[in-house]
Amino acid sequence: MRAAVYHGARDVRIEKVEDPRIEHASDVIVKTITTSMCGSDLYTYGGEADPLVVLGRTTLGHEICAEVVEAGDGVRRFVVGDRVTFPYSVSCGSCFLCRVGQTAHCETSKGAMFGAGVAFGDLGGSQAEFVRVPLADDNLEHVPGHIDDVSALFLSCNLPAAIIAVDAASIEAMDTVAVIGCGPTGLLALALARQRTRGPILAFDTVPSRLAAAADRGAQAVDAGGSDALSAVAEATAGRGVDKVIEFAGRGSAFDLALSIARPGAVISGGGVYLEMEHPVSLLDMYRKNLQIRLNGSANAKAAQWKAMQLISSGVIDPTSVISHEVTLDELPSAAAAFADRENGFLKMAIRP
Protein backbone atom coordinates (compact mmCIF):
# COMPACT_ATOMS: atom_id res chain seq x y z
CA MET A 1 0.00 0.00 0.00
CA ARG A 2 0.98 3.68 -0.21
CA ALA A 3 1.66 5.66 2.95
CA ALA A 4 3.31 8.87 4.18
CA VAL A 5 6.70 7.80 5.55
CA TYR A 6 8.79 10.10 7.75
CA HIS A 7 12.46 10.35 6.74
CA GLY A 8 13.54 13.32 8.83
CA ALA A 9 12.69 16.93 9.50
CA ARG A 10 10.32 18.21 6.78
CA ASP A 11 11.02 15.10 4.71
CA VAL A 12 7.84 13.07 4.21
CA ARG A 13 7.60 10.74 1.21
CA ILE A 14 4.71 8.79 -0.23
CA GLU A 15 6.07 5.26 -0.55
CA LYS A 16 5.00 1.67 -0.97
CA VAL A 17 5.01 -0.12 2.39
CA GLU A 18 3.82 -3.51 3.58
CA ASP A 19 0.05 -3.88 3.93
CA PRO A 20 -1.13 -4.13 7.54
CA ARG A 21 -2.47 -7.50 8.65
CA ILE A 22 -4.53 -8.90 11.49
CA GLU A 23 -2.14 -9.58 14.40
CA HIS A 24 -4.64 -10.19 17.20
CA ALA A 25 -8.22 -11.45 17.24
CA SER A 26 -9.37 -8.01 18.39
CA ASP A 27 -7.88 -6.21 15.34
CA VAL A 28 -9.59 -4.84 12.29
CA ILE A 29 -8.09 -3.52 9.06
CA VAL A 30 -9.66 -0.35 7.68
CA LYS A 31 -9.38 1.32 4.29
CA THR A 32 -8.89 5.06 4.56
CA ILE A 33 -11.62 7.22 2.99
CA THR A 34 -10.43 10.59 4.31
CA THR A 35 -7.59 11.61 6.58
CA SER A 36 -5.83 14.83 7.50
CA MET A 37 -2.83 16.38 9.21
CA CYS A 38 -3.18 17.61 12.78
CA GLY A 39 -1.22 20.44 14.35
CA SER A 40 0.33 17.88 16.69
CA ASP A 41 1.73 16.05 13.64
CA LEU A 42 3.94 19.09 13.06
CA TYR A 43 6.13 18.18 16.03
CA THR A 44 7.08 14.99 14.22
CA TYR A 45 7.17 16.65 10.80
CA GLY A 46 9.53 19.36 12.06
CA GLY A 47 11.96 16.89 13.65
CA GLU A 48 11.16 17.63 17.29
CA ALA A 49 10.02 14.06 17.97
CA ASP A 50 12.89 12.22 16.25
CA PRO A 51 13.82 10.20 19.38
CA LEU A 52 10.32 8.68 19.28
CA VAL A 53 10.28 7.49 15.67
CA VAL A 54 12.22 5.36 13.20
CA LEU A 55 13.39 7.36 10.20
CA GLY A 56 12.29 5.78 6.97
CA ARG A 57 9.73 3.50 8.64
CA THR A 58 7.33 5.50 10.82
CA THR A 59 4.14 6.40 8.98
CA LEU A 60 2.18 9.47 9.97
CA GLY A 61 -1.34 10.62 10.81
CA HIS A 62 -4.07 9.92 13.35
CA GLU A 63 -7.28 11.44 11.93
CA ILE A 64 -9.55 9.26 9.82
CA CYS A 65 -12.84 8.22 8.31
CA ALA A 66 -12.50 4.67 7.00
CA GLU A 67 -14.24 1.46 5.93
CA VAL A 68 -13.71 -1.88 7.62
CA VAL A 69 -12.24 -4.37 5.12
CA GLU A 70 -11.20 -7.20 7.47
CA ALA A 71 -12.04 -8.13 11.06
CA GLY A 72 -10.34 -10.47 13.52
CA ASP A 73 -12.16 -13.51 14.89
CA GLY A 74 -12.73 -11.81 18.23
CA VAL A 75 -14.37 -8.66 16.86
CA ARG A 76 -18.09 -8.45 17.62
CA ARG A 77 -19.22 -4.87 16.99
CA PHE A 78 -17.89 -4.36 13.47
CA VAL A 79 -18.20 -6.12 10.13
CA VAL A 80 -16.74 -5.60 6.69
CA GLY A 81 -18.29 -2.53 5.06
CA ASP A 82 -18.88 -0.52 8.25
CA ARG A 83 -17.86 3.14 8.05
CA VAL A 84 -15.82 4.02 11.12
CA THR A 85 -13.47 6.42 12.83
CA PHE A 86 -11.01 6.04 15.70
CA PRO A 87 -9.58 8.41 18.32
CA TYR A 88 -5.90 9.26 17.93
CA SER A 89 -5.03 7.14 20.98
CA VAL A 90 -5.93 3.48 21.57
CA SER A 91 -7.93 2.52 24.64
CA CYS A 92 -9.43 -0.68 26.02
CA GLY A 93 -12.36 0.84 27.91
CA SER A 94 -11.91 -1.41 30.94
CA CYS A 95 -8.62 -0.63 32.71
CA PHE A 96 -8.54 1.75 35.69
CA LEU A 97 -7.45 4.80 33.70
CA CYS A 98 -10.02 4.21 30.96
CA ARG A 99 -12.76 3.87 33.56
CA VAL A 100 -11.84 7.22 35.13
CA GLY A 101 -11.87 8.89 31.72
CA GLN A 102 -8.13 9.01 31.04
CA THR A 103 -8.36 7.04 27.81
CA ALA A 104 -5.20 8.60 26.36
CA HIS A 105 -3.28 6.84 29.14
CA CYS A 106 -4.83 3.38 28.72
CA GLU A 107 -2.94 0.79 30.76
CA THR A 108 -3.71 -1.98 28.26
CA SER A 109 -2.46 -0.21 25.14
CA LYS A 110 0.31 1.56 27.13
CA GLY A 111 -0.86 4.89 25.73
CA ALA A 112 -0.47 3.79 22.10
CA MET A 113 -1.16 6.43 19.46
CA PHE A 114 -1.56 6.12 15.71
CA GLY A 115 1.32 7.50 13.68
CA ALA A 116 3.32 8.64 16.72
CA GLY A 117 6.32 6.31 16.46
CA VAL A 118 7.90 3.52 18.47
CA ALA A 119 7.50 5.29 21.80
CA PHE A 120 3.72 5.16 21.41
CA GLY A 121 3.08 1.61 20.29
CA ASP A 122 4.69 1.76 16.84
CA LEU A 123 1.29 1.80 15.16
CA GLY A 124 0.84 2.77 11.54
CA GLY A 125 -0.57 6.18 10.73
CA SER A 126 -3.79 7.18 9.01
CA GLN A 127 -2.02 8.93 6.13
CA ALA A 128 -2.04 5.61 4.33
CA GLU A 129 -4.35 3.48 2.25
CA PHE A 130 -4.95 0.95 5.06
CA VAL A 131 -4.53 0.93 8.86
CA ARG A 132 -4.56 -1.83 11.48
CA VAL A 133 -6.76 -0.91 14.43
CA PRO A 134 -6.17 -2.85 17.69
CA LEU A 135 -8.81 -3.32 20.41
CA ALA A 136 -11.41 -2.54 17.76
CA ASP A 137 -14.58 -3.30 19.73
CA ASP A 138 -13.63 -0.79 22.40
CA ASN A 139 -11.73 1.74 20.30
CA LEU A 140 -13.54 2.13 16.98
CA GLU A 141 -16.75 4.11 16.53
CA HIS A 142 -19.40 3.72 13.84
CA VAL A 143 -19.91 6.88 11.79
CA PRO A 144 -23.63 7.66 11.39
CA GLY A 145 -24.85 7.94 7.82
CA HIS A 146 -25.77 11.62 8.20
CA ILE A 147 -22.16 12.59 9.06
CA ASP A 148 -20.14 13.02 5.87
CA ASP A 149 -16.65 11.64 5.29
CA VAL A 150 -14.83 14.95 5.88
CA SER A 151 -16.76 15.84 9.04
CA ALA A 152 -16.06 12.35 10.39
CA LEU A 153 -12.30 12.77 10.41
CA PHE A 154 -12.71 15.56 12.98
CA LEU A 155 -13.98 12.95 15.45
CA SER A 156 -10.47 11.52 15.82
CA CYS A 157 -8.85 14.49 17.53
CA ASN A 158 -9.69 18.11 16.65
CA LEU A 159 -13.29 18.37 17.80
CA PRO A 160 -12.98 16.19 20.92
CA ALA A 161 -9.89 18.20 21.91
CA ALA A 162 -11.78 21.47 21.46
CA ILE A 163 -14.72 20.16 23.50
CA ILE A 164 -12.44 19.00 26.33
CA ALA A 165 -10.58 22.32 26.51
CA VAL A 166 -13.75 24.41 26.46
CA ASP A 167 -15.43 22.23 29.09
CA ALA A 168 -12.33 22.49 31.28
CA ALA A 169 -12.40 26.28 31.02
CA SER A 170 -15.76 26.38 32.87
CA ILE A 171 -16.97 29.38 30.87
CA GLU A 172 -19.86 31.33 32.38
CA ALA A 173 -22.44 33.50 30.64
CA MET A 174 -20.64 36.87 30.83
CA ASP A 175 -17.01 35.71 30.95
CA THR A 176 -14.32 37.38 28.92
CA VAL A 177 -12.45 34.62 27.09
CA ALA A 178 -9.12 34.53 25.29
CA VAL A 179 -8.29 31.88 22.69
CA ILE A 180 -4.57 31.62 21.97
CA GLY A 181 -3.77 29.86 18.70
CA CYS A 182 -6.33 30.10 15.89
CA GLY A 183 -5.46 26.95 14.03
CA PRO A 184 -8.22 24.43 13.26
CA THR A 185 -8.73 23.22 16.83
CA GLY A 186 -8.46 26.71 18.27
CA LEU A 187 -11.15 27.94 15.89
CA LEU A 188 -13.43 25.04 16.81
CA ALA A 189 -12.88 25.89 20.48
CA LEU A 190 -13.63 29.53 19.74
CA ALA A 191 -16.93 28.60 18.10
CA LEU A 192 -17.89 26.49 21.11
CA ALA A 193 -16.85 29.21 23.55
CA ARG A 194 -18.92 31.79 21.63
CA GLN A 195 -22.02 29.75 22.45
CA ARG A 196 -21.29 29.89 26.18
CA THR A 197 -20.62 33.55 26.82
CA ARG A 198 -21.99 36.89 25.78
CA GLY A 199 -18.81 38.54 26.94
CA PRO A 200 -15.98 39.47 24.57
CA ILE A 201 -13.70 36.82 23.12
CA LEU A 202 -10.17 37.81 22.17
CA ALA A 203 -8.38 35.59 19.65
CA PHE A 204 -4.57 35.61 19.45
CA ASP A 205 -2.47 34.49 16.49
CA THR A 206 0.15 35.87 14.13
CA VAL A 207 -1.23 34.65 10.77
CA PRO A 208 -3.54 37.21 9.10
CA SER A 209 -5.90 34.65 7.56
CA ARG A 210 -6.32 32.87 10.89
CA LEU A 211 -7.05 36.14 12.66
CA ALA A 212 -9.61 36.91 9.95
CA ALA A 213 -11.22 33.51 10.50
CA ALA A 214 -11.43 34.23 14.22
CA ALA A 215 -13.05 37.60 13.55
CA ASP A 216 -15.60 35.89 11.29
CA ARG A 217 -16.54 33.72 14.28
CA GLY A 218 -17.28 36.72 16.49
CA ALA A 219 -13.93 37.29 18.19
CA GLN A 220 -11.75 40.36 18.54
CA ALA A 221 -8.63 39.43 16.60
CA VAL A 222 -5.33 40.32 18.26
CA ASP A 223 -1.89 39.96 16.69
CA ALA A 224 -0.01 37.92 19.29
CA GLY A 225 3.30 39.25 17.98
CA GLY A 226 2.22 42.88 18.06
CA SER A 227 3.16 45.48 20.62
CA ASP A 228 -0.46 46.20 21.54
CA ALA A 229 -1.51 42.65 22.50
CA LEU A 230 -1.50 43.29 26.24
CA SER A 231 -3.12 46.70 25.86
CA ALA A 232 -5.97 45.09 23.89
CA VAL A 233 -6.64 42.80 26.85
CA ALA A 234 -6.43 45.67 29.31
CA GLU A 235 -8.91 47.72 27.29
CA ALA A 236 -11.39 44.85 26.98
CA THR A 237 -11.24 43.94 30.69
CA ALA A 238 -10.82 47.29 32.48
CA GLY A 239 -7.25 46.28 33.20
CA ARG A 240 -8.14 43.14 35.17
CA GLY A 241 -7.29 40.45 32.61
CA VAL A 242 -9.53 37.78 31.08
CA ASP A 243 -11.68 35.37 33.05
CA LYS A 244 -10.87 32.25 31.01
CA VAL A 245 -7.97 31.40 28.67
CA ILE A 246 -8.03 28.55 26.16
CA GLU A 247 -4.52 27.85 24.83
CA PHE A 248 -4.05 25.85 21.63
CA ALA A 249 -0.71 27.08 20.28
CA GLY A 250 1.18 24.53 22.36
CA ARG A 251 4.37 26.50 22.91
CA GLY A 252 6.02 27.92 26.00
CA SER A 253 5.66 31.47 24.70
CA ALA A 254 1.91 30.92 24.29
CA PHE A 255 1.65 29.62 27.87
CA ASP A 256 3.56 32.73 29.03
CA LEU A 257 1.02 34.89 27.19
CA ALA A 258 -1.82 32.99 28.88
CA LEU A 259 -0.30 33.66 32.30
CA SER A 260 0.17 37.34 31.54
CA ILE A 261 -3.41 38.03 30.40
CA ALA A 262 -5.27 35.93 33.00
CA ARG A 263 -6.95 37.86 35.81
CA PRO A 264 -6.59 36.76 39.44
CA GLY A 265 -8.67 33.63 39.92
CA ALA A 266 -8.81 32.88 36.19
CA VAL A 267 -8.85 29.45 34.58
CA ILE A 268 -6.22 28.55 31.98
CA SER A 269 -7.29 25.56 29.91
CA GLY A 270 -4.39 24.25 27.88
CA GLY A 271 -5.20 22.07 24.88
CA GLY A 272 -1.87 22.51 23.13
CA VAL A 273 0.99 20.01 23.14
CA TYR A 274 4.00 21.20 25.14
CA LEU A 275 7.37 19.59 24.43
CA GLU A 276 9.59 22.08 26.29
CA MET A 277 11.01 20.18 29.25
CA GLU A 278 12.71 23.10 31.00
CA HIS A 279 10.61 26.13 30.11
CA PRO A 280 10.83 28.61 32.99
CA VAL A 281 7.59 29.73 34.62
CA SER A 282 7.02 31.71 37.77
CA LEU A 283 5.31 29.65 40.44
CA LEU A 284 5.03 32.86 42.45
CA ASP A 285 2.98 34.56 39.73
CA MET A 286 0.63 31.58 39.44
CA TYR A 287 0.32 31.34 43.22
CA ARG A 288 -0.31 35.04 43.76
CA LYS A 289 -2.94 35.12 41.01
CA ASN A 290 -4.81 32.09 42.42
CA LEU A 291 -4.84 30.60 38.93
CA GLN A 292 -6.49 27.31 38.03
CA ILE A 293 -4.42 25.58 35.35
CA ARG A 294 -5.96 22.61 33.55
CA LEU A 295 -3.80 21.01 30.87
CA ASN A 296 -5.34 18.64 28.37
CA GLY A 297 -2.70 18.25 25.65
CA SER A 298 -3.03 14.47 25.87
CA ALA A 299 -6.72 14.84 25.20
CA ASN A 300 -8.95 11.93 26.15
CA ALA A 301 -10.57 12.02 22.72
CA LYS A 302 -12.41 8.72 23.10
CA ALA A 303 -14.35 10.10 26.06
CA ALA A 304 -15.52 13.12 24.03
CA GLN A 305 -16.28 11.42 20.70
CA TRP A 306 -19.96 10.84 21.46
CA LYS A 307 -20.47 14.50 22.38
CA ALA A 308 -18.62 15.52 19.20
CA MET A 309 -20.96 13.35 17.12
CA GLN A 310 -23.98 14.97 18.76
CA LEU A 311 -22.70 18.48 18.06
CA ILE A 312 -22.14 17.67 14.39
CA SER A 313 -25.42 15.78 14.00
CA SER A 314 -27.47 18.58 15.54
CA GLY A 315 -25.78 21.27 13.44
CA VAL A 316 -24.38 23.05 16.49
CA ILE A 317 -20.97 23.09 14.84
CA ASP A 318 -19.72 22.46 11.31
CA PRO A 319 -16.12 21.27 11.60
CA THR A 320 -15.62 21.37 7.84
CA SER A 321 -15.65 25.19 8.10
CA VAL A 322 -11.94 24.99 8.98
CA ILE A 323 -11.02 22.96 5.87
CA SER A 324 -9.15 25.20 3.46
CA HIS A 325 -7.61 22.60 1.13
CA GLU A 326 -8.43 19.15 -0.25
CA VAL A 327 -5.48 17.13 -1.56
CA THR A 328 -4.55 13.63 -2.60
CA LEU A 329 -2.08 11.50 -0.68
CA ASP A 330 0.50 12.13 -3.38
CA GLU A 331 0.12 15.87 -2.83
CA LEU A 332 0.63 15.58 0.94
CA PRO A 333 4.38 16.39 1.06
CA SER A 334 3.96 19.83 -0.51
CA ALA A 335 0.74 20.50 1.41
CA ALA A 336 2.46 19.54 4.67
CA ALA A 337 5.14 22.15 4.02
CA ALA A 338 2.49 24.82 3.48
CA PHE A 339 0.69 23.77 6.67
CA ALA A 340 3.92 23.77 8.70
CA ASP A 341 4.86 27.21 7.36
CA ARG A 342 1.39 28.52 8.25
CA GLU A 343 1.01 29.96 4.80
CA ASN A 344 -1.63 32.65 4.75
CA GLY A 345 -4.93 31.02 3.81
CA PHE A 346 -3.81 27.47 4.64
CA LEU A 347 -5.76 26.19 7.64
CA LYS A 348 -6.46 22.45 7.38
CA MET A 349 -6.40 19.86 4.62
CA ALA A 350 -8.63 16.92 3.89
CA ILE A 351 -6.64 14.11 2.27
CA ARG A 352 -8.17 11.44 0.04
CA PRO A 353 -5.82 8.54 -0.68
153-201 confidence digits (pLDDT tens): 999 999 999 999 999 999 999 999 999 999 999 999 999 999 999 999 9
- Break the chain into its structural domains and give their ranges: 2-157+300-352, 159-295
pLDDT at 225 over 90: no
How much is the pLDDT for 221? 96
User: Could you tell me the pTM of the whole model?
Assistant: 0.95
Q: What is the mean pLDDT of the chain?
A: 96
Supply the pLDDT for residue 47.
94
* pLDDT above 90 (res 277): no
CATH topology of domain 159-295: Rossmann fold (3.40.50)
pLDDT at 310 > cutoff 90: yes
pLDDT (tens digit per residue) in 147-163: 999 999 999 999 999 99
Does the domain formed by 2-157+300-352 have CATH 3.40.1640.10?
no
Percentage with pLDDT > 90 across the chain: 93
SS (H, E, C) the chain: CEEEEEEECCEEEEEECCCCCCCCCCCEEEEEEEEECCCCHHHHHCCCCHHHCCCCCCECCCCEEEEEEEECCCCCCCCCCCEEECCCECCCCCCHHHHCCCHHHCCCCCCCEECCCHHHCCECCCCECEEEECCHHHHCEECCCCCCHHHHHCCCCHHHHHHHHHHHHCCCCCCCEEEECCCHHHHHHHHHHHCCCCCCEEEEECCHHHHHHHHHCCCEEEECCCCCHHHHHHHHCCCCCEEEEEECCCCHHHHHHHHHHEEEEEEEEECCCCCCCCCCCCHHHHHHCCCEEEECCCCCHHHHHHHHHHHHHCCCCCHHHHCCEEEEHHHHHHHHHHHHCCCCCCCCEEEEC
Average pLDDT of the residues in 233-257 = 95
Residue 27 — pLDDT band, cuts 50, 70, 90? very high
pLDDT band at 112 (very low <50, low <70, confident <90, very high): very high
Q: What is the mean pLDDT of residues 237-246?
A: 97
Query: Does the pLDDT value for residue 295 go beyond 90?
Result: yes
Q: How confident is the model at residue 255 (pLDDT cuts 50, 70, 90)?
A: very high
